[in-house]
A and B are shown apart, each in its own frame.
Chain A
Amino acid sequence: NAGVTQTPKFRILKIGQSMTLQCTQDMNHNYMYWYRQDPGMGLKLIYYSVGAGITDKGEVPNGYNVSRSTTEDFPLRLELAAPSQTSVYFCASSSTGVGMNTEAFFGQGTRLTVV
């Protein structure tokens, strides 16, 4: 029972480089989310998706892009990495909207450092 799987677990990027954080879930959830976690700041929503082909911005979307071509996968793309994007990134999924009476399932996170 894999749940939500994120790769890679760690990554160091140079300023200006780009990369894709991968997220896949095997629970057939329609809703998927990307959060970033900075020390002492809690989690902030970057993007979310309510189903394949449908995505929308969260609280902090600048510098990121997403796509949702399948129910299972929800990759997060960083273009032109900046030091401000140094953070821990979490992917999550839920059967219905995460703010409703449901549980969000989180991946183990990707720790990204931009130098």
Chain B
Amino acid sequence: AQSVTQPDIHITVSEGASLELRCNYSYGATPYLFWYVQSPGQGLQLLLKYFSGDTLVQGIKGFEAEFKRSQSSFNLRKPSVHWSDAAEYFCAVGTPPGAGSYQLTFGKGTKLSVIP
């Protein structure tokens, strides 16, 4: 079964600083990978996804993520953090067609705090 590890429970950065949130996955084949963001009191919103092709994917709100098969990682990055980026971020791995399931497996999340 697939699994997702987000090693950092809580990260604090200063506004304007760069950000990298780590995500490692375990899956036997090429995974479908996602990053979702959850603002306080809200549901989850998709930031970006990786399906195939270019390993550097661009998302909304200036975020990007890089898929590295050799490291089983899909880290999320942003060059300059804004105060409005304070939220909880979830990495998830999906099950490709034919695997008999239609679900996302989520990591435990990384809470991002931004210092003005």
Contact check, A98 vs B90: say whether CB atoms are below 8 A apart.
Answer: no
| Residue of B44, B49, B51, B108 with most chain A CB atoms under a 10 A cut-off | B44
**Residues of chain A within 8 A of B109, CB atoms compared:** 40, 42
With A97-B97, A99-B95, A100-B94 given, is the CB distance from A106 to B102 under 8 Å?
A: no
With A97-B95, A107-B43, A108-B41 given, is the CB distance from A42 to B103 under 8 Å?
A: no
B101's nearest neighbour on chain A, judged by CB, is A99
Contact of A48 among B51, B102, B107 (CB under 8 A): B102
Complex: A103 Cα to B94 Cα, angstroms: 11
Number of interface residues of A (CB under 8 A): 26
Which residues of A (56-95) have their CB < 8 Å from a CB of B? 58-59, 90, 92
Contact check, B104 vs A99: say whether CB atoms are below 8 A apart.
Answer: yes
| Chain B 85-116 per-residue mask, 1 if CB under 8 angstroms from chain A, else 0 | 00000100111110101111011110000000
Complex: A97 Cα to B97 Cα, angstroms: 8
15 contacts between A and B (CB under 8 A): A41-B108, A42-B108, A43-B90, A43-B106, A45-B104, A90-B44, A97-B102, A98-B102, A99-B101, A100-B32, A100-B96, A100-B97, A100-B102, A107-B43, A109-B42
